[in-house]
Amino acid sequence: MIDRARLAELLDRERRTFRDRNPRSAAAYEQARAHLFGGVPMTWMNKTAAGFPLYLAEARGARVTDVDGHTYVDLCLGDTGAMAGHSPQASVDAVADRFGGRGGATVMMPTEDATWVGAELGRRFGVPYWSFSLTATDANRWAIRLARAITGRPKILVNSYCYHGSVDEVLLVVGPDGEQVSREGNVGAPVDPTVTSRVVEFNDLAALERELAHGDVAAVLMEPALTNIGIVLPEPGYLDGVRELTRRYGSLLINDETHTFSAGPGGCTGAWGLDPDIVTIGKAIGGGIPSGGYGLSAEVAARVEAMSGLDLVDMGGVGGTLAGNALSVAAMRATLEHVLTDDAFVGMTELATRFTKGVQEVIDEHALPWSVTQLGARAEYRFAAPAPRNGGESNAAGDPDLDDYLHVYLANRGVLLTPFHNMALMCPATTEADVDLHHEVFASAVSELVG
């Protein structure tokens, strides 16, 4: 379907344009190589379609400006960290007050804001007892420890091609012959993850039951819809089946809502009436300030409290000095109270629907074997039709050159998509015109390629 020679030629042209358009970013990257490992502040920033990253000058709402003076419609939004928009005013004011005005970012004293945030997350996600972290990774790590502690079981079960942060237990996939294998490139794993974990494909209840029946799974850690290998939605009855099987085999269910928060003010858990034992979340809830947390059901909280000998106060492996600090908690409160409100999700979801419809029209016009999937305020296109039904299928549909072509083409014309994904996320400041600009450029990228 795709003429690979044509794709290579267009990708090369777009990369040259990118280099010509962005001399300051290119120079900044060259200079960084002498002082930063890999030339970037964090090694994943080398995930760039064009050969070097754009350097940030400023960002506000749904707009980002780079050091060469180009302003972009930002549909990446920090891969969800900025789902509230960049520097939303209410969060800025709360952070300025807590850090500058009243002061006291990290004092080893609780603030009253934390109680408000716990109550609000409880209202949205249905689990009442919250504890905070600074990242979703840590929320998952600590939730896993609690699950192991109260069940006395060693293993964690995840879905193939999931991502829950750099958590040791989740870095495995279902291999080509159905065997469980460490993820390719897993860096310095402390033990082979097949020792600590089990993995099954999403939407496969038979496999889930087979693995849970071993009786050694402390918790199933999952996203209610996969979002890190394209978006893969649950089939009808799947999530009910997961809940029923986890209960039957005595495993806890942890919903990681870090990305699926896009489904609504209470993520998929709220939107679809799910009933997990633990909810974890990070990224967006602090409006850009590091924050995250896990929420426990009343039953799980009671089981933890009933255990003697767990060190939850000092060096028992759950917690961090800066976790729950006053600044992070102030940012979460302001963001949830004033920015990512119930009302805001209505508009964000309408825009994602507009995005999905426009992309589908381009796919239909060229009869491409592609699909586009929406999850509330988020949508993603994938080079497979019908849309993949699990992580393995979605992984097989990957096309890195096509990804790069679309990403660079869009960037050269003022639109940023999420690296690692063909994902577009709407924030409260995103407009219809922003979505339409994407459509215009996407349509032109596609018609140059296949038209």
Q: Please report whether residue 135 would count as binding ligand PMP according to CB under 6 A.
A: yes
Tell me: does residue 163 bind ligand PMP (CB under 6 A). Answer: yes
Between 81 and 85, whose beta carbon lies closer to ligand PMP? 81
Residue 132 binds to ligand PMP (criterion: CB under 6 A): no
Q: Return the residue of 165, 295, 419, 428 that touches ligand PMP, per CB under 6 A.
A: 165
Closest contact distance (angstroms) between CB of 388 and ligand PMP is: 17
Q: How far is the CB of 441 from ligand PMP (least distance, A)?
A: 25
Question: What span, in angstroms and rounded, lies between the C-alpha atoms of 183 and 228?
Answer: 14
Query: Closer to ligand PMP at the Cβ: 259 or 407?
Result: 259
388 binds ligand PMP (CB under 6 A): no
Residue 131, φ and ψ in degrees, nearest 5: -140, 145
Q: Under the criterion CB under 6 A, does residue 407 sit at the interface with ligand PMP?
A: no
Which of 283/438 has CB closer to ligand PMP? 283
User: Does 282 engage in binding with ligand PMP (CB under 6 A)?
Assistant: yes
Selected from 11, 121, 136, 221, the binder of ligand PMP by CB under 6 A is 136
E-strand stretches of 268-387: 278-282, 292-296, 371-375, 378-382
* Closest CB to ligand PMP among residues 141, 413: 141
Q: Which region, judged by CB under 6 A, interacts with ligand PMP, from 160-168, 264-272, 341-349, 421-429?
A: 160-168
Q: Are 444 and 372 in contact (CB under 8 A)?
A: no
Provide the β-strand partners of residue 371.
Answer: 382
Tell me: does residue 224 bind ligand PMP (CB under 6 A): no
- Residue whose entry in the numeric block shows the structure tokens 């009442």: 128
Round to whole Å and give the CA distance between 111 and 254: 27
Residues 174-213, mask of contacts with ligand PMP (x by CB under 6 A): ----------------------------------------
Query: Measured in whole angstroms, how far is the alpha carbon of residue 122 from the centre of its chain?
Result: 21
Cβ within 8 Å of residue 431, ≥6 positions away? 62, 351
Stretch of residues binding ligand PMP (CB under 6 A), selected from 64-72, 84-92, 251-259, 402-410: 251-259
Applying the rule CB under 6 A, the residues between 76 and 115 that interact with ligand PMP are: 79
Nearest to residue 338, comparing CAs of 76, 7, 113? Answer: 113
- How far is Cα 138 from Cα 131, in angstroms, rounded to an integer? 11
Q: Does 169 bind ligand PMP (CB under 6 A)?
A: no
Minimum CB distance to ligand PMP, residue 407 (Å): 17
Side by side, the strands of the sheet bearing 378-382 are 371-375, 378-382, 423-425
* Residue closer to ligand PMP, measured from CB, 165 or 428: 165
The one among 63, 259, 378, 421 contacting ligand PMP by CB under 6 A: 259
Is residue 256 at the binding interface for ligand PMP, with CB under 6 A as the rule?
Answer: yes
What stretch of H or E contains 222? strand 217-222
Distance separating alpha carbons of residues 161 and 247, to the nearest angstrom: 24
Q: Which is nearer to ligand PMP, 332 or 362 (CB)?
A: 332
- Under 8 Å between Cβ of 325 and 289: no
Q: Do 372 and 363 contact (CB within 8 A), yes or no?
A: yes
CA 310 to chain CA mean position, Å: 31
* CB of 286 vs ligand PMP, minimal distance in Å: 10
Q: Which residue, 85 or 358, is less far from ligand PMP as judged by CB?
A: 85
Q: Which is nearer to ligand PMP, 283 or 303 (CB)?
A: 283
269 near ligand PMP (CB under 6 A) = no
Is residue 228 close enough to count as binding ligand PMP by CB under 6 A?
A: yes
Distance in angstroms (rounded) separating the CA atoms of residues 165 and 81:
13
Angle between helices 4-21 and 432-450 (to 10 degrees): 130
- CB–CB of 148/298 below 8 Å? no
Q: Which string of b and e fits 153-164 if b means at least 16 CB within 10 Å?
A: bebbbbbbbbbb
Per CB under 6 A, 223 contacts ligand PMP: yes
Binding site for ligand PMP (CB under 6 A): 79, 135-137, 163-165, 223, 228, 256, 258-259, 282-283
